[in-house]
Structure formats: structure tokens, C-alpha cells
Amino acid sequence: MSTYEARLTALREQLKKDRLDGFVVPLTDEHMSEYVGAYAQRLSWLTGFQGSAGSAVVLPEAAAIFIDGRYTLQVREQVDGNLWQYQSVPKTSVAAWLGEHAADGGRIGYDPWLHTRAWVKQAAEALAEKGATLVPVDTNPVDTIWPDRPEPSKAHLVAHDDIYAGKSARDKRQDMADWLETRKADAVVLSALDSIAWAFNIRGADVERTPVALAYAIVHSDSTADLYVAPEKIGESVIQHLGNAVRVHGRADFADALADLSGKTVVADPERAVAAIFDALDKGGAKILALRDPAVLAKAIKNDAEITGHRAAQARDGAALSRYLHWLSVEAPKGALTELTAAARLQEFREETGKLKDLSFDTISAFGPNGASPHYKVDETSSLPIQPGSLYLVDSGGQYLDGTTDVTRTIAVGTPTDEMRTRFTLVLKGHIALARAVFPTGTSGGQLDALARQHLWAHGFDYAHGTGHGVGSFLSVHEGPQRIATFGGADEPLRSGMILSNEPGYYKAGEYGIRIENLVLVEPRDVPNAEHAMLGFETLTFAPIDKALIDAQLLSPEERDWLNSYHARVLEIVGPQVEGDITAWLDAACAPL
């Protein structure tokens, strides 16, 4: 019996003991985080799936894993299809699948600290049609059978200096207090880790690649706050940073504190606060206002200090990436590199800046067929040699005190085929169309998404991921509420000061992948005789785009001008940071078409 078959069997045996006929295992934590600490990697432990988004359902005679289009190939490589049915989201959902497969009268368990209230309602309604019920558990059965489950991180919190934050934590809490007053509310619950990090100007090391700390917070209408964090994680310097207006409690005291808000009007975010938080507030007799956490939008709209910091971080990171691309141009044709050794060398280039705090996510270092998985994760077993004859896709980023970076480049190793050049150029045309977009205030990312896809669509191609996500300031590399996509909450209006990625792609299963990604800043755009206030994008990321993959005949004069202007800016920003052979290489890489 394989390891994962044994774990699935053990979970089914535990469910029998708990008098449950099924259980739902999401990939998240008590804070609805995208990236989670090792202690919360229940889906990976149970199934072997290494992606960053997914869920599973275990029934007595069936089990299914639910992933979106980014992981169609990856899930089949990592998860045993003899044990798990592969289910594609949004074509189906956990709730819909349960409604079809749960036994009549069955009891399906869920952990209320790992699901939103909306999900609970949806799943309960789907099960009710079968006469089945959704049952909250006090102890997660996966935790019961996971003998060596890691402990939550004990890393210390650190203060994030106002010179990077651009606004004091005291002023941020006052803004929240003013926001509460206009809504006649007494307090707001903050459970999203990046919201807490932003609101209190603190950072941590509890989640790999994201500088946040495991904590909860309640901010009150008088601008005081209660912060709930494990006592051993907070030192005297952070206590002094927080000040007298912030009361510090043990993280384990949070649930009881919710119950003590009887008679209060309390804001809780229905997307970011788990069902258990709403349950505790309900039982305690609080009046709940289901509103978006006020840190979410404020955090997304970067202030002047954050924008200045981002520009500095992007310039530094662009130079590190350019040094890597030069190194790759020398070493890759020799055929001695692997995906793993290449990713390690890229991290070294970033570390050599002396400013790197962490990567912003695990580097996607993907050659040939592995590049066809948009969120491929390289390891010892999957790592391919990088040899002439195909494409190498590298999607990577760094965490710096002054900004978070995320950039993708696709490189021809050897001579690319005409097909590769054509499809790369179609992706580039979409990237340029979005970079050049001018749009009225109030426009959402969903309205812009087709600009990046139009040239691919015209040839019958598409890509199964969003075109752009928000990015934090020394915080999460994937930050809401804004995004550019055809699905999944892309109706948030874009506002000046927001930072997003611009990353169209193309993926040919079994052969290669293409993606071109820069970060962009939403900024006011002066349009002569405009009847509306207009916005556009300032490109923040600077590193060469591989001209060997461009079919210049497919570019319009405007697109050619954009690319030449972009490469001129790369020379202007990156050029002074490199020297010697790299300078000569950069000059050639950025020469006009």
C-alpha cells in the first residue's frame, strides 16, 4: 500500500470513529490564506498535491480532488488517479459534487475554521437535497491521523518601519475607527494575515514566502485594538512599537473574545473570516455587519512611500534578473543546467543584492513540457535538464523591505521553431495591449482582460489562468481585491495606486509554455479633451524580453515602438547596475527591433 493510499485509508477509518460519512479538506488555514504554514498543509499531506489552490472530499467509497485550470497537468502528475477523481473548477464545485455523491442521510464533516460562511450555506443546501447534513467538527480528523504534523511557527514578529509603510499604524487604526463610526459599528474583526500585518505595521515569518504572523485582531471604534498572537512570538521592541493603545493577548484567547462582544455591532468580512468566527459572534449575541475588511482596499491602494519603494525594489530585482538572464545565455546552450540548478542560481543573484528577505513564491523554473503547467513546482524528481531545442520559462520574485516583485520571462534555448516564435509574439501583443490600455475610472480588471487575450483568441488559442493579480508591499504576492481575469471576482474597479501583474501566456501540453509578466501601477492618465477621468498603467518591471522569440513582422508599428521604448527604459534603469560582459549583453538584448 502506498503512503497516500494508507493515509486515505486512515482518514476513512477515523471518519467511522467520528460517525461521519465524509469530510472536506481545503487548502487553507484559519485565516483563509492562499499560502499556508506547514502545519496547515493538510491537502498536500493527504493527497500529494503540491499546488497552491485546491480542495478534496473523502467519502467511504469515493474521493475527489478539485483544482482549477492552472493545475490540470500538475494534479495528474502528483495525485494518484486510482485513489482520487480529478474534478475541474469552476465546471464543478465541492458543493455540487457532494450533492451528487453523498449518501442519503449522510453526515459530511467540515472544519468551521477552514471555510467561509457562504461555503457552508452552499454545501449544506446541496446536501439537503439528498437528505444529508453538513456537520462541524471540533477536531479536524486529518490532524488526528497526522502523527508528525508540524507545529505552527514560533518566529518572532518584527516592526515594519514607517519609512516603508508610508503611514503609521496609529493613523491606520484611526482611519478604521472613522470607518466604523460611519457604519455605526463598535468593532471590526481582522483575520486575514496580510490585513493584520498592514494595519499594525508588523511582519512575521510564519508562512513561507509571505512575511506575515499568525494572529487575529479586533479594532475598536475608539481606535484601540486587541491583538491575539502566541506570547512567545512577541518581544519588547514590538510591544513598544504597538504602543499602549494595542492590548496583546494569547492567540488561543481569540474565540472567547468573540463571545464577549455581546450587544456590540461587529464587522466581519464574509470572504476572509471563517465560519467559526461568525458562529462565535452569533452565539455571543453580537450584531454582525458582513462587510469587507477595511484594510483590504486601503492596503491595495499604495501610498507615495510604498510606490517609491516598489520602484526601487523592481529596479534592484530587474538587475538581478538581468544578470541571471545573461548567465543563462552563456550556460544554457552547454546543456549542463537543470531546472533546479537554474532556480538556485537565480536566488543567488537576488541574494547578492544584499536586500533580499525571502522569495515571494517558489520559483517556477520550467523547461520544455514542464513549462506547459502554469504553476509547475520543480523538485528532485521532476527537474529536467535545460538543453537546446525548447523554451525555458522562469516565473520568480523577491520579498524586499521596500517591495514585493513578480516577473516571468520565457527564453529560447537554442533556435526556436517558427511556431514558438509566432505564439510567443501573440502573447507579447496581448501583453503590450494591456500595458498600453487607457480606460475610464470605474473600469474593472474583468473589462480589460480580453485585451490581453484578443490576439490568441484570433488564432484559436487561450490560457486557463487570470491575466493579472494584485501585489502587496513586502506582503502577499497575490493581493486582492483587484485582479484582471475573465472569472472569479474580477469586477473590482481599478484605482490609481493599485499594483497588478500583466501576465498573458500560452501553453502547449507536453511541449512548452510561454508567459510574459511585468508588474504595472495604475495611474491617472491625461487624455486631451477627455470627458471622463482616465487611468492607465505604468510598467514597473524592467528586464529584457527575448527578441529571439519575436516575429517582428507580426507587430504593428505601435507595438514595435512600445517594445523599443520598454527596452530603452531597461537600459536606463538596469544598465547602471551591471558591468563588463553583462553590459555588452544587455546592450544587445535591448537594441531596437
Are residues 333 and 372 both part of a single domain? yes
Tell whether omega for the bond before 504 is within 30 degrees of 0, i.e. cis. no
> pLDDT at position 375, please?
85
Give the residue among 218, 167, 166 at the shortest CA–CA distance from 190: 218
User: What span, in angstroms and rounded, lies between the C-alpha atoms of 63 and 54?
Assistant: 14
Counting the structural domains of the chain, the total is 3
Assess whether 172 and 205 both reside in one domain. Answer: yes
Q: pLDDT at position 33, please?
A: 92
State whether 305 and 253 are in the same domain: no
- CA-CA distance, 468 to 184, in Å (whole number)? 36
Residues 549 and 421 grouped into a single domain: yes
- The CATH number of the domain where 110 resides is what? 3.40.350.10
What is the residue range of 288's domain?
Answer: 158-299
Using the 3D structure, point to which of 241, 267, 299 is the last residue of a domain. Answer: 299
Residue with cell 519575436: 550
Predicted pLDDT at 462:
97
Tell me: do 337 and 363 sit in the same domain. yes
Check residue 468 and give its pLDDT.
Answer: 98
| Residue ranges of E strands in 430-540 | 438-440, 468-470, 479-484, 499-502, 505-508, 512-515, 518-525, 534-539
Mean pLDDT by 10 residues, the chain (593 residues): 93 97 96 93 95 93 90 88 91 91 94 97 94 96 96 96 98 98 98 98 95 98 97 95 97 95 97 97 96 98 98 98 98 96 98 98 97 91 95 98 98 97 98 98 97 98 96 97 87 97 97 98 96 97 98 98 98 97 98 97
Looking at the structure, tell me whether residues 222 and 360 fall in a common domain: no
Q: 309 and 291, same structural domain?
A: no
Neighbouring C-beta atoms of residue 139, cutoff 10 Å:
10
pLDDT of residue 346: 98
Q: Give the residue from 113, 296, 48, 76 showing the smallest Cα distance to 190.
A: 296
Q: Which one of 245, 269, 299 terminates a domain? A: 299
CA nearest 8: which of 45, 40, 36, 37?
45
Residue 151 lies in a domain: no
Same domain assignment for residues 575 and 462: yes
Helix (H) or strand (E) holding 4: helix 3-17
317 and 253 fall within a common domain: no
Nearest to 322 by CA among 80, 584, 507, 510: 584
108 and 84 co-located in one domain: yes
Q: CA torsion 551→553→555→556, rounded to 10°?
A: 170
Question: What is the C-alpha separation between 410 and 391, in angstroms, rounded?
Answer: 7
Residues 23 and 163 both lie in one domain: no
Whole-structure pTM value: 0.94
How many CA atoms, within 13 angstroms, populate the side-chain half-sphere of residue 141?
A: 27
Query: Are the CB atoms for 47 and 66 separated by under 8 Å?
Result: no
Identity at 134, one-letter amino acid code: L
Residues 537, 400, single domain; the answer is yes
Q: Quick check: is 378 in a domain?
A: yes
Final residue belonging to a domain, choices 145, 179, 199: 145
Amino acid symbol at 52: S
Q: Is residue 385 part of a domain?
A: yes
The answer to whether residue 150 is domain-embedded is no
